[in-house]
Amino acid sequence: MVLLAEPTTVAQRAAAVKQAARELGFTAAGITTADAFDAPRARLARWISQGRHGEMAYLEQFAERHARFRTAFPDARSVIVVAAGRDYHKVLRARLKALARVVQGLAEGPVAVRWCVDTAPLHERSLAEAAGLGFIGKNTCLILPRGGSWVVLGVLATDLELAEDAPATHTCGACTRCLEACPTGALTAPYEMDARRCIAYLTLEHRGPLPEPLRPAVGTWLAGCDICQEVCPYNAKPAPASWPALTPAAGAGETLPLADLLACRDPQAFETRFAGTALMRPKYQGLVRNAALAAGNARAHELLPSLRARTQDPDPVIRDAAAWAVTRITAETPGD
């Protein structure tokens, strides 16, 4: 890795950090001040007070956990935000550790660093916006002007002073494609999202039966939803994934056979197949529930035997979803 010779000024240090980030394969990197930590707290508190976070109770402790984070690192001065294509966690953490070593090598004395990848009470999108990586769009996603929103974020805080970047100047303009495309109306207004209506929330985070009025609009999504990103013009040329380690794990893909999921009656087999993938988030109950609803919305007549069998499932949530799907399919098939 080649760095600038003897970076001594805050601008030279910042340039060295961003150069190192590029060499480590990050799609984008930017720097802001530690003051940006606190900017989005009031907005998040208001969103939570309106109940828009649904069952994500962990967000209710955000302010308290954020205060502990700030207390544990009171000397933080600069925040480095990086973006990478595709999935993250272990792979992104390893790259952030390498970037942390670069930061620590930019001063003669000790340099404190703390890196996080979705593991600390930080509003990463707001930090990324402040650091100039992109802007928060009307779909509430961070959008990179030259890479779109198909990225995940990592944050590295340090007590080393670095020159900050200016926020991005791009906007959504008059475009409202995401608001118009959302099947469930989760985007209640530009830059406003009600998680309780979001398909990604419903299929991944919501436990128990899905609200019946929303079931038809969930369509055939099994885990998550990308509609508001797919219609975004900025995603016409998404940022490339440059790390081979970020390819999808075995067992997960863009589609999964509904028949296989409905036939799965062994939670342990489910965990074995999907370990290490995002499909562990909805868990066995949630994914089979989602498969039943998807079969109903797809009017999958060939899956009626499997669905009828699941109406006798010992799990009441799966029974409910299967019964709803059977009714949805047979309602359009007189005499079935």
Q: Block means of pLDDT (10 residues each) for the chain, length 336 residues?
A: 62 94 90 84 79 78 67 83 70 87 91 85 89 96 90 91 92 97 97 95 95 96 93 84 53 72 92 83 94 97 97 97 97 59
Phi, psi values for residue 84, rounded to 5°: -140, 145
Q: What are 59's two structure tokens? A: 């967000």
Q: 23, 82 in Cβ contact below 8 A?
A: no
pLDDT of residue 88: 58
The CA distances from residue 87 to 150, 202, 248, 264, in Å, are 10, 20, 8, 26
Task: Report d(CA 92, CA 206) in Å as an integer.
Answer: 27
DSSP letter, residue 257: -
CB atoms within 10 A of CB 207: 11
pLDDT of residue 250: 43
Question: Catalytic residue among 38, 118, 159, 226, which?
Answer: 118
pLDDT of residue 2: 42
Task: Report d(CA 93, CA 115) in Å as an integer.
Answer: 8
* β partners of residue 155: 81, 116
The per-residue pLDDT for range 37-60, each reduced to its tens digit, is 777 777 777 878 888 888 777 777
pLDDT of residue 85: 61
The per-residue pLDDT for range 9-44, each reduced to its tens digit, is 999 999 999 999 999 988 899 999 988 877 777 777
Q: What are 7's two structure tokens? A: 């970076």
Please compute, for residue 250, the number of CA atoms within 13 A of its CA located in the half-sphere on the CB side.
2
Q: Which residues contact 16 (CB under 8 A, 6 or more apart)?
A: 3, 4, 7, 102, 106
Q: Write the single-letter amino acid at 4.
A: L
Establish whether 118 is a catalytic residue.
yes
pLDDT of residue 66: 65
Q: Reduced to 3 states, what is the DSSP secondary structure of residue 296? A: helix
pLDDT of residue 63: 63
Rounded to two decimals, the pTM is 0.83
Domain boundaries, the chain: 10-158, 256-336
**CATH architecture entry for 256-336:** Alpha Horseshoe (1.25)
- Residue among 121, 122, 127, 126 at smallest CA distance from 65: 121
* β partners of residue 156: 80, 115
CB atoms within 10 A of CB 186: 26
